[in-house]
Amino acid sequence: MGWNLESSSGVGNFGLQRDSLSAAGPLYASAAKSNYTTAIAHFLATIAAHPQLEKKLNYCSAFKIPHDIDNDLHHVCFGFDEALETFGVRFIKGNISGNIIDEKNLKDQIKASQSERERIDLLMSEYLNDNSISHSERAVKSRQEALWELVNDLIVIFGMDNPLSHQLFQKYTPTEIHQKGLDRLIACYPNGLERIKVIYRQEVLKIESRNPKGRRAVGVVRTKVKDYNNQKKSRNQPVTISTQPPQDEILNEQSTDNLPDTTKSQSKQKKHRTTKEEMEILSVLKVYKDKLPDDAIASVCEQLSEIWTKKKIREWWNYHKDK
């Protein structure tokens, strides 16, 4: 839905932009996008209150700015808010002076605006075929192929009788396709609609006291690509045998309280303490401050007992290198 909003603004289709915002508002609320939800409520309320503004926006809902770098004939489209933000920041950057302003605060605002613009650039360039904002033809082609492959997959999936049989879901197994997850999915839109109505009454009409509690509650559990990658890493990690004694051994140990100390000490697992000789061997690693070479670890490892693994040696170095 996000690309739809941006592209509708870019091509000057105000009707599509307004209808998309109206439809997407409850989804933003259910996804805990509180700031977006509030902005949508204000926008739709302003349009409803000012019919003349809506009429003007139907004629001119976007600015088409020529891209005049190196005589490039491509153009960039901006909505009203984007035009003010982008060129306002550019004007400020060109007129920074002395101690009149808080420079740190200004830089933070500029970075935030640039970051937002960069996030929009990709989808704008792909769907409008506007590559003037991209710096690498190869990178543009690669992103286009990946994006359109996903779009085509989703079109096919929505037309399938059994969507979960698609290869996309074989690679990334849905984690919420169960009764509870489906109930949340079905309820997210009507629940989001109620939430945006509350925001409208509190933030726009101001007929109710402002109560932000619960606005960032997520209606549907979101799963990101990094979550799948983390699961894959955990599956590929070798199984380590725990040195934790079983429960029955702990009970047996407790039952030996009346035994001599020598007997109890044998039943307890001792924690290794670094000896003076080991400290002398390990101290040679302190000469490395930024990176510990593998051959240095191997050399030290040969002089130490089997208790000292490469991982343990590296952990010792990380802790002691600056001491």
- pLDDT tens by residue, 231-259: 777 777 765 555 555 555 555 555 545 54
pLDDT at 69 over 60: no
Distance, in Å, from the CA atom of 307 to the CA atom of 74, rounded to the nearest integer, reads 65
- Residue-level pLDDT at 191: 93
| C-beta separation of 191 from 219 below 8 A | yes
Residue 98 vs residue 31, higher pLDDT? 31
This prediction's pTM: 0.46
Tell me the pLDDT tens digit for each residue of 11-63.
Answer: 457 888 888 889 988 998 888 888 889 989 998 999 999 988 888 887 776 66
pLDDT at 10 over 50: no
Count Cβ atoms below 10 Å from residue 156 Cβ, excluding itself.
13
| C-beta separation of 196 from 26 below 8 A | yes
- Residue-level pLDDT at 120: 61
Q: With CA atoms as reference, report the closest residue to 77 among 30, 39, 124.
A: 124
Does the CA dihedral 117-122-127-128 come out positive or negative? positive
Residue 39 vs residue 124, higher pLDDT? 39
**pLDDT tier at 98, thresholds 50, 70, 90:** very low
Compute CA distances 305 → 48, 269, 293, 301, 302, whole Å.
77, 18, 20, 8, 8
Mean pLDDT, the chain, rounded, equals 73
Q: Is 63 helix (H, G, I), strand (E, B) or coil?
A: strand
**pLDDT tier at 8, thresholds 50, 70, 90:** very low
- Residue-level pLDDT at 11: 46
Average pLDDT (84-96) is 53
- Residue-level pLDDT at 97: 47
Q: Where are the domains of the chain?
A: 2-228, 275-323
Residue in this structure with the two tokens 């725990």, named with its chain if needed:
242
pLDDT at 3 over 50: no
**pLDDT tier at 113, thresholds 50, 70, 90:** low
- Residue-level pLDDT at 108: 63
* Amino acid in the structure at residue 271: K
Average pLDDT (124-151) is 65
- Residue-level pLDDT at 77: 61
